[in-house]
Amino acid sequence: MGGVKAITFDFWGTLYAGASGRGMRMEHLMSALRANGYDLLEERVDAADRVAWVEWERAWREDFRTLSSHDWLTLMFAHLGVTLPQSDLDALAHYFNIAILHVDPPLSLIEGAGDAVQRLARRYPLGIISDTGLSDGRTLRRFLERDGLLERFACLTFSDEVGRCKPHPDVFRRTLDCLGARPGEAVHIGDLTRTDIAGAKGVGMRAVRMTAANDDPDASVRPDATIDSFADFERLIQMWDGEA
């Protein structure tokens, strides 16, 4: 491999960490159900939530797609035998999408991430390759904008927008095309072995596993490096770029 020409980042567990907002979502859901005449035990609603999670993970792992908040609620309501007016369903799905914006403490950058992105963006085209969950790519952009990082990324590849998720090669190749780099010239950093490491190495990129927020125990695919800080990542990039 030659020098580094582009870098891509995972979002969750790599750039950002924090609470998911599940408690807020479930509280809002219970209120919406009561407003529509459904007085359900929380245990039943929690069971329906688990049903939705199982199908979300199956689609993520097997179909290479991420279900939206609307999909999630549809699965829950089918399990519960609940029917809400379309306007109420849409409003609830919207809340599920944006709840992450209002968690306390807020979702925050992992230590050193913001400064590292600012410095690396002066030397390399940067991209994000992120699987989305109940919060879509448009919502996640708001965190990047809040932290002054949105304009530092030349390409943003969110699974809900492209219809594919990691480790499918399409999401990596699409981002590399956008960045104008060949796989051997690019580095991807992420926390999950199955999606980030396997996906990047599967298309010929270097892959770095970040452990600062999540030390994934999955050792099925060996990364090119494992690091626990963005200072180490910048040193690694400098070393690899010196290989040209």
Say which CATH number the domain at 187 has: 3.40.50.1000
128 and 52: one domain? no
Q: Is residue 79 part of a domain?
A: yes
Confidence of residue 244 (pLDDT cuts 50, 70, 90): very low
Distance between CA 172 and CA 166 in Å, rounded?
Answer: 8
- In the predicted structure, residue 129 carries a pLDDT above the cut 70: yes
Instruction: Quote the pLDDT of residue 26.
Output: 95
Whether 122 and 197 map to the same domain: the answer is: yes
The answer as to whether 180 is a domain residue is yes
**Model pLDDT for residues 91-124, shown as the tens digit of each residue:** 999 999 999 999 999 999 999 999 999 999 999 9
pLDDT in tens, 161-175: 999 999 999 999 999
Q: What is the mean pLDDT of residues 29-57?
A: 97
Whether 113 and 78 have beta carbons less than 8 Å apart is answered as: no
133 and 204, same structural domain? yes
93 lies in the same domain as 119? no
The pLDDT value recorded for residue 160 is: 97
- The verdict on residue 235 lying in a domain is yes
What is the helix (H) or strand (E) element at residue 127, kind and residue range?
strand 126-130
Whether 146 and 43 map to the same domain: the answer is no
Residue 1 has pLDDT above 70, yes or no: no
- Judging by beta carbons within 10 Å of its beta carbon (0-12, 13-18, 19+), is residue 110 exposed, middle or buried? buried
Check whether residue 122 and residue 229 sit in a common domain.
Answer: yes
Q: Is residue 57 part of a domain?
A: yes
Residue 35 pLDDT exceeds 50: yes
Residues 44 and 161 occupy one common structural domain: no
pTM, full prediction: 0.95
d(C-alpha 189, C-alpha 205), whole Å: 10
pLDDT tens digits along 57-80: 999 999 999 999 999 999 999 999
How do beta strands 16-17 and 6-9 pair? Answer: unpaired
* Final residue of a structural domain among 79, 102, 125: 102
Q: What angle do CA 155, 221, 163 make, to 5 degrees?
A: 35
Report d(CA 123, CA 119) in Å as an integer.
Answer: 7
Do 42 and 30 form a contact (C-beta atoms < 8 A)? yes
- Residues 181, 128, 243, 225: is their CA dihedral positive or negative? negative
Spatial contact of 89 and 28, defined as CB atoms under 8 Å apart = no
pLDDT tier for residue 242 given thresholds of 50, 70 and 90? confident
At residue 243 the predicted structure's pLDDT band, cuts being 50, 70 and 90, is: low
Question: Within a domain: residue 144?
Answer: yes
Question: Where in the sequence is the domain holding 118, given as residue range(s)?
Answer: 6-18+109-241
Query: Do the domain assignments include residue 1?
Result: no
12-21, 147-156, 197-206: range with lowest mean pLDDT: 12-21
To the nearest whole number, what is the mean pLDDT of the chain?
Answer: 96
Type and span of the H or E element at 9? strand 6-9
Name the 3-class secondary structure at 70.
helix
| Domains in the chain, number | 2
Same domain, 94 and 125: no
Asked if residue 237 is part of any domain, the answer here is yes
> Is residue 55 in a domain?
yes
Are residues 37 and 128 both part of a single domain? no
